[in-house]
Structure 1
Amino acid sequence: MRDLKQYPFEIQILSEEDGGGYLISFPDFSECISDGDTIEEAIQNGLDALEETIAALESMKLPVPEPGSGGSYSGKFVQRVPKSLHARLVARAKQEGVSMNTLVNTFLAESLGKKEPA
């Protein structure tokens, strides 16, 4: 039996636009997130989701990451943005003749490639 409390997690405050409350995610599991109205509720819901995620991986005979391993990266993540920003990204992607995914990948790569000010 795994000690679920050994897995690191991250808590984020959700904006009112995103429903409020708190979002919990587990760096070792790219697809395991949950939320709650309070930090305590988010943690409990997150542990429940983590237990189900591990059970699903084990039932499919897939490897379960060790706590703190960082897991495996699928190359996919979900980011909620304000509707106005979403609309601007869609418009810019159409203007550039690329998918929104390609546009955002380009923005991220360009931003990460910039040197930090000294």
Structure 2
Amino acid sequence: MAQKDDKYTYRVTWSDDDDEYVGLCAEFPSLSWLAVTQEKALKGIRKLVADVVSDMVENGESIPEPFASKRYSGKFMVRVPPDVHRKLAIQAAEAGVSLNRIASSKLSQ
């Protein structure tokens, strides 16, 4: 049974290769669960994550912090080719906004 305090990030998607739904957990990218319905795929991956977390706790391993619980500063560095940097700088100047504002706008789309 999945833990009540389970705050991990789950997704269920269709797998053409497997001809089934696949349940995934962003904090445990190596884990997946195949099932014939979306509901069973979600239930399966949640149970698998709960089992893995229990195993990790028993073995004294650190468990991943859920993305929902993490605090983000809103800052990160992105390297782009010089021509992209130039193009963004021109767009920012033409729009009368900062380069940061243009980049943030494009990333949020």
Superposition TM-score tier, normalisation by shorter sequence: 0.5 to 0.7
Q: Does 1:13 align with 2:20?
A: no
Sequence identity (%): 16
Q: Cα deviations across residues 73-110 of structure 1 (Å, max 9, x unaligned)?
A: xxxxxxxxxxxxxxxxxxxxxxxxxxxxxxxxxxxxxx
| Structure 1 length-normalised TM | 0.51
**1:10 shift after superposition:** 2.0
- How far does residue 32 in structure 1 lie from its aligned partner after superposition? 2.1
1:76 corresponds to: none
Q: Which segments of 5 or more consecutive residues in structure 2 lack a partner in the other structure?
A: 69-79, 89-109
Residue 29 of structure 1: how far off its partner (Å): 1.2
| 4+ aligned runs moved over 4 Å, structure 1 | none
Task: State the superposition RMSD in angstroms.
Answer: 2.9
Aligned pair 1:62/2:61, yes or no? yes
Provide structure 1 residue ranges, at least 5 long, that are not aligned to the other structure: 70-112
Q: In the TM superposition, what whole-angstrom CA distance separates every residue of 1:40-88 from its partner, at most 9, and x where no partner exists?
A: 010011111011110111121111112216xxxxxxxxxxxxxxxxxxx
Q: Displacement, 1:9?
A: 1.2
User: Of the two, which has the highest radius of gyration?
Assistant: 2
1:96-107 superposed matches below 5 A: none
Report the CA distance between 1:3 and its aligned residue. Answer: 1.6
Deviation at 1:20, TM superposition (A): 1.2
Q: Distance in 1 between matches of 2:59 and 2:48?
A: 17
Code of the aligned partner of 1:3 = D
| Distance in 1 of aligned mates of 2:29 and 2:42 | 17
Provide the C-alpha distance between the structure 2 equivalents of 1:37 and 1:3, rounded to a whole number of angstroms.
Answer: 26
SS at match of 1:61: coil
1:25 aligns with 2:27: no
Q: 2:5 aligned to 3, 13, 16, which one? A: 3
Compare 36-45 and 19-28 and name the one that shifted more. 19-28
CA contact (8 A) 1:32 1:53 kept: no
1:24 and 1:42 in contact (8 A); partners too: yes
Looking at structure 1, the residues matched to 19 and 57 of structure 2 have their Cα atoms a distance apart, in angstroms, of 33
